[in-house]
Amino acid sequence: MRFPARLLPAAAFALLAFSCASTTPVDMKEPRRLVGTENGVRIDAQIFGEQFSPGQAVAITYDVTNERPGAVAVADLVPVSSYDPETQTVTVTFGSEIPGHELLPRLLVIPSGQKKSFSGSAVISGVFGTGSGFQHAPRGLQVMLHFLGETKPFEQLIGIQERVVRNPQLADALLPKWLERTETIITNVLPMRWVLPFNPDEGTVRRRP
């Protein structure tokens, strides 16, 4: 799967304070759960809360399960997000489709037959408008995961202490392999309520249906 079209630039949102440390697995009995699979790799994500708004921290836990015969890897990067006004969906993306021009991220490996859990908070900020003519408020959230389907070409980035290393030559050498071996999973869309900021004239917080 490839990155969906018509998405506003990632700069439309800011996602901060996300940790890729191991954590408690996703509650599989939780009905408000996001699920996506692609060729033997599965992601289960849990969103804590049913509404979001500019500046609000959205807590996310996600599990990556690898059912392939070989290991897969995810880049340990701060997530980014984008917004599709046609579907009114916010997409939170983990991993990276391509490495940087000079900087390379640490890779987190999920061995064959294993599952790893991650959690953190994403602070969403963006300009959507707050006037009465506001028509395209976000109505849902989905998760996208970019992962490397093969780990051998990227062994230099596995297990390193730094989250990011600067190595222009290695970045240039790995770019073709990274593009060739990157795969993508997109989950279903979870309905969310978009809450507009407090309006002192109305004396209340306004919600979009």
> Which pTM was predicted?
0.79
Q: If you average pLDDT over every residue of the chain, what do you get?
A: 79
Higher pLDDT, residue 127 or 150 = 150
Reported as a single tens digit per residue, the pLDDT across 4-43 is 434 444 333 333 334 444 567 776 676 688 999 999 999 9
Beta strands in the chain (DSSP E): 18-19, 33-38, 41-48, 51-52, 56-66, 72-75, 80-84, 89-94, 103-105, 107-110, 115-124, 140-148, 164-166, 182-186, 190-191, 193-199, 204-207
d(CA 109, CA 123): 26
Reported as a single tens digit per residue, the pLDDT across 70-108 is 999 999 988 877 788 888 888 888 888 888 888 999 999
Neighbours of 7 (CB within 10 A): 20
Reported as a single tens digit per residue, the pLDDT across 165-190 is 999 999 999 999 999 999 999 999 99
